DNA sequence: AGGGGTTATGTTAAAAAATACATAACGAGA
DNA sequence: TCTCGTTATGTATTTTTTAACATAACCCCT
């Protein structure tokens, strides 16, 4: 027996969950939405929609983009997004440990 | 901004989550699947399917039932189910506290 | 014997979420 | 000016999940 869980931030609607966190992290790393989606194995369309939703709820722009140029364009995270991603990573790590510890405590014999 | 989450026990497939926990608790309290579903506002059919799934995965019977009689029939939890429900309640309370504490720590200013 | 309330189960329909398809715009560089 | 890889967005399709409908069986009690 194991434990599974999902955790996400909301404000009326979803702001950020594990999927959004990973997407933002990969955009930061790759400098491109397209390349991030390739690494996550989701469609560009899907990623684009999620980013719009996140920004709509967070109320601040999270991803800055530009089109054209020899590289075709690119994307990067705003300072606010970088801060959010950083906090989420730390938060998520704590939650992960807490849940697994409690699970061991109560269900290790099952 | 708030935090939301779901946590559930699995063994290949889902065993027990908040919905199953509540369902089992209400069956225990009411002595009837039908009455439990009325209180939870779900259909009998849905509850019945969930119970079957839980039992299939947990591998032990969780709900004992009997039909007929003046009251029409009834249901009760097996000792194993009572133990499981009890542990889940304690586990869930710990997780709840841990997540909310971490959330406060990292996002209280947002 | 029949009524009443429950368990038991298959089948359908509806709603929601995820995925796929198609296409326009953009602009630096060749 | 044409190409290339990217952003941007609407629309359609498929898959998954959830809810609804219909009906049989059971049996104590009157």
Domain residue limits, chain B: 9-103
Which architecture, in CATH terms, is A13-107?
Answer: Orthogonal Bundle (1.10)
> Quick count: other Cβ atoms within 10 Å of Cβ A8?
18
Structure tokens at A70: 């020899």
**Hunting for tokens 């994307």 — which residue is that?**
A75
User: Do B51 and B58 contact (CB within 8 A), yes or no?
Assistant: no
Residues in chain B: 110
* pLDDT one digit per residue (tens) for chain A, 110 residues: 899 999 999 887 778 999 999 999 999 999 999 999 999 999 999 999 999 999 988 999 999 999 988 889 999 999 999 999 999 999 999 999 999 999 999 999 98
Structure tokens at B56: 């299939």
Rounded Cα gap, residues A95 and A105, in angstroms: 15
Q: What is the pLDDT of residue B21?
A: 95
Angle at A102 between CA B93 and CA A13, to 5 degrees: 55
**Hunting for tokens 């020899």 — which residue is that?**
A70
Closest Cα to residue B53, out of B45, B39, B66? B45
Measured between CA atoms, the residue of chain B closest to residue A107 is B87
Interface contact A6-B6, CB threshold 8 A: yes
Q: What is the pLDDT of residue A12?
A: 74
Residue B69 reports pLDDT greater than 90: no
Q: What is the pLDDT of residue B63?
A: 95
Q: What is the pLDDT of residue A11?
A: 83
Q: Å between B99 CA and C20 C1'? A: 37
- Over the Cα atoms of chain B, what is R_g? 17
> Quick count: other Cβ atoms within 10 Å of Cβ B79?
8
Q: What is the DSSP letter of A69?
A: S
Q: Which nucleotides of D are covered by protein (CB under 7 A)?
A: 4-11, 18-22, 25-30
Domain spanning B9-103 has what CATH number?
1.10.10.10
Contacts with B15 from chain A: Cβ below 8 Å: 1
User: Do B10 and A1 contact (CB within 8 A), yes or no?
Assistant: yes
Is residue A41 within a helix (H) or strand (E), and if so which, with residue range? Answer: none
């Amino acid at each position: 027996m194991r434990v599974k869980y999902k955790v996400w931030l909301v404000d009326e609607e979803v702001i950020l969950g594990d999927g959004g966190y990973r997407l933002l992290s990969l955009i930061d790393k790759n400098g491109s939405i397209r390349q991030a989606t390739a690494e996550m194995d989701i469609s560009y369309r899907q990623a684009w929609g999620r980013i719009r939703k996140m920004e709509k709820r967070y109320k601040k722009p999270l991803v800055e983009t530009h089109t054209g140029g020899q590289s075709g364009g690119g994307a990067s995270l705003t300072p606010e997004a970088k801060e959010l991603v950083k906090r989420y990573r730390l938060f998520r790590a704590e939650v992960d440990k807490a849940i697994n510890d409690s699970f061991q405590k109560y269900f290790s014999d099952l």
